[in-house]
Structure 1
Amino acid sequence: MCGIAGIWRPGEGGEEAVRRMIGALAHRGPDDRGVFSDEQVVLGHRRLSILDPSPLGHQPMAAADGRVQVVFNGEIYNFHELRDQLGGAGHTFRSDSDTEVLLYGFLEWGEALIERLVGDFAFAIYDGREQALLLARDRFGVKPLYYARLGDQLVFASEVRAILRSGRVAAQLDEARLPEFLSLQSVAPPATLVEGVRMLEPGATMRVDAGGVCIRKFWDLAEHAAEPLAGDPATMRREVQRRLYRAVERQMVSDVPLGAFLSGGIDSSAVVGMMSRLVERPIQTIAVAFDDAGFDDGHFARIAADAFGTDHVEVKLTDDELYEHAHAALGAQDHPSADGINTYIVSQAARRRGLKVALSGLGGDELFAGYSNFARLERLGRFQSGLAAVPAPLRHAVATVCDGPTRPIAAQKIAELLRSDGSIAEAYPVVRRVLSRAQLGELLHEPGDETLGVTRRLRQAFFARPNMPTLSQVSYAEATSYMHDILLRDTDQMSMAHSLEVRVPLLDHELAEYVVRIPDAVKRPKMAPKQLMVDALDGLLPDEIVHRPKQGFRMPFERWLKGPLRDTCRTNLQRVAAIPSFREHAIATLWEDFLAGKASVSWSRVWLLNCLGSWIANVLEPTSQ
């Protein structure tokens, strides 16, 4: 994992601008840095050495004839296979890095190289002969890539902060995106919360040349879910097992110390269990536990560690230590989020124990139907036709009774579902909401159609594929929304704050392409969460792990907001209240009601606004001065 940056048609001061940009990415790559510059482009790189950590892996990396330059963030897990193919075609390699495979793969296959890649990547390839720049991002969007178009100039980087440090893009909040952010804790790509800054979508390329800019999608999970598989469930489970082990084995390649996060849930335990079967040495695992038993799930991590014989490290934190980490995590956010503190803490623990790479179980809930949303939306799908038969005026009348900013959020969600058409495209954003429409109306002068982007994307995917299984529809919704927009982004920014590469083998695209085609009855028999994964692993997981209640990484947010974070939160909320789109008095009332303990104001609403204010202070304000 690294950090990349660059400017197309840089003009005067372009190299200095890119040097500032990679300076802002130093945490992503403390091992090396480099810049390439000519009249057409400036490329910059910060290196976290994982494969071939020798100087031969320095970037920007050039082909032997100097025609092509590349800057690359990520890992190509099938680079040995591609290297063998390219060697057979006559290419000679100087290093053992996967970066060089990108160079010669591009020279051999052009943009068709991308379809051959198995990995997590964001890269820029400059072809000096063609005077063209190619940007590409991996299929699920594990690695971020942002850009800003300024006339015929293009500025791009691994982080929003780096783009702002170029001095060429104004640090201006895009207030039109606030309703979506407050509803879903995120902004769907290609938009961001910074005006003029965009994100290259997952599974997409961007080509820039004298003819302009062309963006192309090369992969979409929905295309593989169009037709369910037919056949023997036992055969499907065996194939899932084969693909699971292959994905984990691929992602264990590393020339530096590698371990795994272990929370004691099914997903992380499955990854660690497979790792332990693939190598003879003990796997190093990291878990975070709390002195407060009400927030501690270290017990299950220890069960999994004992079962798989890992070299397990449990980092036990006091409440004060946890608060200090949470405060630091807010400063590490490149894009505001109410989540991710857990990843910040466990990444720091892993790095302090000498790891440079850690495998994670992220993606298991999305592909193997682990979230409760799968059951909710499956039930809603069964009632969809009956709901549509109820006259709209009656449904809207019932919805009005349930609705209102002082009503419980669950009642307000029911109201929105009653007003919807019952489809997953309309229902999914409702079940994922943090703030309801009524609550948005209290806070913002113009709430707008805050979830239209997500609904539109889902409608387009499902309309063209009417045979997609229900659970696969939910998987697609989760993977392209909550997982991409929040979980993957948070994992990247929080792990890279500590120069740690986190890999996600459960998002191997060949595994995902197969799983989304499996019929619902096989994937989740009797609606048991992640039963397909458990059955496919054939007794690998301890019973205590399989049958434990699902539990997130809980922290005492309410206690913090009313205690040690109180003054900071008040300042951040005042910062938010000063944004023209917000109703200033509504923010003040929300804060007062929260401190007074009113049941209508949950800590999550206050925390989300606090995170937004903190991000403005740490990212926008320093670069706008």
Structure 2
Amino acid sequence: MCGITGWVSFDRDLRAEKTALDAMTETMACRGPDDRGVWAEGPAALGHRRLAIIDLPGGRQPMTAGTPHGTVALVYSGETYNFTELRRELTGRGHRFTTDSDTEVVLRGYLEWGEALPERLNGMYAFAVWDGRADKLLMVRDRMGIKPFYFHPTADGVLFGSEPKAILANPLARRRVKLDGLRELFTMIKTPGHAVWDGMREVEPGTVVTVDRDGVRTRRYWELETRPHTDDRDTTVARVRTLLDDIVRRQLVADVPRCTLLSGGLDSSALTALGARQLAGDGEKIRSFAVDFAGQTENFVADELRGTPDTPFVHDVARTSGTDHQDIVLDAQALADPAIREKVVRARDLPAGFGDMDASLHLLFRAIREHSTVALSGESADEVFGGYLQFFDERARTADAFPWLVTMGRHFGEDADVLRPELNRSLDLPAYVADGYRDAVAGIRRLDGESDFEYRMRRISHLHLTRFVRVLLDRKDRASMAVGLEVRVPFCDHRLVEYVYNTPWALKSYDGREKTLLREATADVLPRSVYDRVKSPYPSTQDPKYAAALQDQARDLLARTGHPVFDLVDPDRLRRAAEREAPMTGQGDRRGLERALDLALWLDLYRPEIVLD
């Protein structure tokens, strides 16, 4: 796992631009604390920061291969889980390897298969190849968008990086955000390709972006396709288990300490149990970590989102699977610490607005990094198997809208609550979201003979797998890589995603419960308590002291009357939230406060030019 960056400029020799390349590369230091490297030749310059996971002595980057017609250079972030098979095939084709790294397999794979390489990869990755034989750059992103990748076209080429901060470090990139960028920021729909920053784009998941003297071209090598499902129930359950066993086995490969993120829910518990069983066969014990809040288990109050505290279920799994377990217990003071908020905003390059859930994720990962370098996460199982409330909420099922916005709107309210009324009118978020929804559902193919209900559930699944999950994957990547921790997401394996997506809802939830296929496929390794547990989202603190600390910080912000945040935030609305006397124990109560504080900090740190016309 690493951070990559680079610059292609067909009108200059970038060997003379070392200062700018170094600055871009150093912004990725947190993603790659173990090593750094830069390479430049003519119109191309590449930078790399390395987090060593496989072949610790080898695998240094940028990695190059000389050919009779020019140099091919690679910077790569991520993991290719089928690199052993690919290496064997490439060796049979005459390639000779000097390292044991998956990076060299990707480089040699490009020399052998060219632009057809991505179709052969199983993994999470974002990589760039400069092909000096044809003076062209290829930027490639994994199918599900697990690893982030951004680019910024220039007058004579392109800037790119794992995160926007790498691009913004180059003088050619302006720190400017227009209305459309704010619209994307204040919604939760993840428009493909949108990067918020003006002039910047995301390399879309499952695509190859090629840059040469003729300009920029994009080719999609993978998308979520509709296919008939012919397996019966027992065969489907067995197939899911076979895939999970293979995926977990591949994703446990590392030359550094590994662990699992354990919440006590079905997803993380299944991965932990499968991982523990596989490592036990090798005489190893897997580590597991969970986040908890001081006093939460003893004082937990059930609500519509969370019916039970996590910790008792976490401990059941740890006992059943024999993990080496540790709870990471956080208090309100740590969660509300402005220094932690700053780290979160810097990690995201944006005021993300997830509040204490972002803070707790950062603190959890920071604590884990003291013990492990690789962690397996249950992220995306809800999108793949259908675990969220909106999959069962009739209002969300039948609305011509993003289903999570229908459900979440009842719990969290609108992000726009603290924005200035005139800004809300300019943004017109309902129209932006409606346009995004129409674009999102336009290409979803219906099977011949598929019922109206099954097609509706297919659309909901497709929206979650192509829009919603990308919000959460980006959040998890940034939070983990900000502390040099690699988080792997087994449920994003494209083979599993394709298979389960095309499984009819009647099989995905044949007993009327969420994630039935996953529950039955892993029933033999789960404690009964977890098998029977109802879905509970990522935990959030209920401690009123956390909200009280936010109110104190909001009052301090209100005292800074000339702060540019008040070009966006209505001070009267923020003041009402800051002076509210009723206890605020839920996320919805605090959302306006957290959004305003995040925005103010982002403006202080990044000094963006905000264009409101």
* TM-score over 0.5 for the pair: yes
Deviation at 1:522, TM superposition (A): 1.0
Deviation at 1:495, TM superposition (A): 0.5
After superposition, residues 390-429 of structure 1 pair within 5 angstroms as 422-423=399-400, 425=401, 427=403, 429=405
CA contact (8 A) 1:237 1:535 kept: yes
Deviation at 1:604, TM superposition (A): 1.5
Instruction: State the match for 1:543 in structure 2.
Output: 528
Could you tell me which amino acid in structure 1 is paired with residue 83 of structure 2? F
| C-alpha distance in structure 2 between counterparts of 1:560 and 1:136, whole Å | 42
| C-alpha distance in structure 2 between counterparts of 1:568 and 1:57, whole Å | 47
CA contact (8 A) 1:137 1:205 kept: yes
Instruction: State the match for 2:456 in structure 1.
Output: 470
| C-alpha distance in structure 2 between counterparts of 1:528 and 1:195, whole Å | 43
Instruction: State the match for 1:406 in structure 2.
Output: none
User: Deviation digits for residues 163-216 of structure 1, max 9, x if unmatched?
Assistant: 1111221111223332342232x6523122211121111111100112211011
| C-alpha distance in structure 2 between counterparts of 1:135 and 1:575, whole Å | 45
Instruction: State the match for 2:480 in structure 1.
Output: 495
**Are residues 1:332 and 2:347 paired?**
yes
SS at match of 2:289: strand
CA contact (8 A) 1:351 1:498 kept: yes
CA contact (8 A) 1:469 1:519 kept: no
**Are residues 1:562 and 2:575 paired?**
no
Deviation at 1:236, TM superposition (A): 0.8
SS at match of 2:427: coil
**Are residues 1:188 and 2:191 paired?**
yes
User: Deviation digits for residues 331-358 of structure 1, max 9, x if unmatched?
Assistant: 43323312233321221111112x1100
SS at match of 2:253: coil
Could you tell me which amino acid in structure 2 is paired with residue 588 of structure 1? D
CA contact (8 A) 1:577 1:587 kept: no
Instruction: State the match for 1:272 in structure 2.
Output: 272
Instruction: State the match for 2:332 in structure 1.
Output: 319
CA contact (8 A) 1:187 1:193 kept: no
Could you tell me which amino acid in structure 1 is paired with residue 377 of structure 2? S
SS at match of 1:155: strand
CA contact (8 A) 1:260 1:358 kept: yes
| C-alpha distance in structure 2 between counterparts of 1:24 and 1:102, whole Å | 25
SS at match of 2:177: coil
Instruction: State the match for 1:360 in structure 2.
Output: 377
Could you tell me which amino acid in structure 2 is paired with residue 614 of structure 1? L
User: Deviation digits for residues 277-299 of structure 1, max 9, x if unmatched?
Assistant: 21221101111222222466322
With over 3 angstroms needed to count, the CA separation of the structure-2 counterparts of 1:15 and 1:367, relative to structure 1, is same
CA contact (8 A) 2:8 2:159 kept: yes
Among residues 50, 53, 58, which one is paired with 2:53 in the alignment?
50
User: Deviation digits for residues 37-72 of structure 1, max 9, x if unmatched?
Assistant: 012110000000001010x31100012546210000
Instruction: State the match for 2:4 in structure 1.
Output: 4
Instruction: State the match for 1:444 in structure 2.
Output: 424
SS at match of 1:499: coil
User: Deviation digits for residues 81-105 of structure 1, max 9, x if unmatched?
Assistant: 0000000000000000000011111
With over 3 angstroms needed to count, the CA separation of the structure-2 counterparts of 1:316 and 1:593, relative to structure 1, is closer
Among residues 117, 132, 137, which one is paired with 1:133 in the alignment?
137
| C-alpha distance in structure 2 between counterparts of 1:215 and 1:569, whole Å | 48
Could you tell me which amino acid in structure 2 is paired with residue 356 of structure 1? T
Instruction: State the match for 1:160 in structure 2.
Output: 164
**Are residues 1:484 and 2:470 paired?**
yes
Q: Which stretch shows the higher mean deviation, 598-607 or 488-497? A: 598-607
**Are residues 1:85 and 2:93 paired?**
no
Aligned length: 574
SS at match of 2:443: helix
Among residues 344, 365, 376, which one is paired with 2:362 in the alignment?
344
With over 3 angstroms needed to count, the CA separation of the structure-2 counterparts of 1:565 and 1:154, relative to structure 1, is farther
| C-alpha distance in structure 2 between counterparts of 1:236 and 1:336, whole Å | 42
Could you tell me which amino acid in structure 2 is paired with residue 365 of structure 1? D
Deviation at 1:580, TM superposition (A): 8.7
With over 3 angstroms needed to count, the CA separation of the structure-2 counterparts of 1:302 and 1:326, relative to structure 1, is farther
User: Deviation digits for residues 567-617 of structure 1, max 9, x if unmatched?
Assistant: 3675389799836974x5x34324324523489983213322322332232
Could you tell me which amino acid in structure 2 is paired with residue 513 of structure 1? E
Among residues 81, 93, 110, which one is paired with 2:114 in the alignment?
110
Q: Which stretch shows the higher mean deviation, 63-72 or 488-497? A: 63-72
| C-alpha distance in structure 1 between counterparts of 2:373 and 2:150, whole Å | 24
| C-alpha distance in structure 2 between counterparts of 1:426 and 1:73, whole Å | 31
Could you tell me which amino acid in structure 2 is paired with residue 7 of structure 1? W
| C-alpha distance in structure 2 between counterparts of 1:144 and 1:291, whole Å | 33
| C-alpha distance in structure 2 between counterparts of 1:575 and 1:77, whole Å | 53
With over 3 angstroms needed to count, the CA separation of the structure-2 counterparts of 1:143 and 1:574, relative to structure 1, is farther
**Are residues 1:619 and 2:606 paired?**
yes
SS at match of 2:172: coil
Q: 5+ unaligned residues in a row in structure 2: which ranges?
A: 301-308
Instruction: State the match for 1:510 in structure 2.
Output: 495
| C-alpha distance in structure 2 between counterparts of 1:17 and 1:96, whole Å | 32
Among residues 494, 503, 508, which one is paired with 1:523 in the alignment?
508
After superposition, residues 296-311 of structure 1 pair within 5 angstroms as 297-311=310-324
CA contact (8 A) 2:565 2:603 kept: no
CA contact (8 A) 1:139 1:219 kept: yes
CA contact (8 A) 1:6 1:155 kept: yes
- TM-score using structure 1 length: 0.85
Instruction: State the match for 2:23 in structure 1.
Output: 20
User: Deviation digits for residues 291-316 of structure 1, max 9, x if unmatched?
Assistant: 22246632221111111000111222
| C-alpha distance in structure 1 between counterparts of 2:215 and 2:121, whole Å | 26
| C-alpha distance in structure 1 between counterparts of 2:190 and 2:420, whole Å | 18
Could you tell me which amino acid in structure 2 is paired with residue 596 of structure 1? R
SS at match of 1:42: strand
CA contact (8 A) 2:577 2:592 kept: no
User: Deviation digits for residues 395-434 of structure 1, max 9, x if unmatched?
Assistant: xxxxxxxxxxxxxxxxxxxxxxxxxxx44x5655444555
User: Deviation digits for residues 129-148 of structure 1, max 9, x if unmatched?
Assistant: 11111000001100000111
| C-alpha distance in structure 2 between counterparts of 1:556 and 1:174, whole Å | 36
CA contact (8 A) 1:148 1:198 kept: yes
Instruction: State the match for 1:417 in structure 2.
Output: none
| C-alpha distance in structure 1 between counterparts of 2:108 and 2:90, whole Å | 7
Could you tell me which amino acid in structure 2 is paired with residue 253 of structure 1? V
| C-alpha distance in structure 2 between counterparts of 1:201 and 1:566, whole Å | 40
CA contact (8 A) 2:4 2:162 kept: yes
Q: Which stretch shows the higher mean deviation, 212-221 or 119-128? A: 212-221
CA contact (8 A) 1:492 1:502 kept: yes
With over 3 angstroms needed to count, the CA separation of the structure-2 counterparts of 1:329 and 1:211, relative to structure 1, is closer
Query: Which runs of structure 1 show a deviation greater than 6 angstroms over 4 or more consecutive aligned residues?
Result: 572-577, 598-601
With over 3 angstroms needed to count, the CA separation of the structure-2 counterparts of 1:579 and 1:343, relative to structure 1, is closer
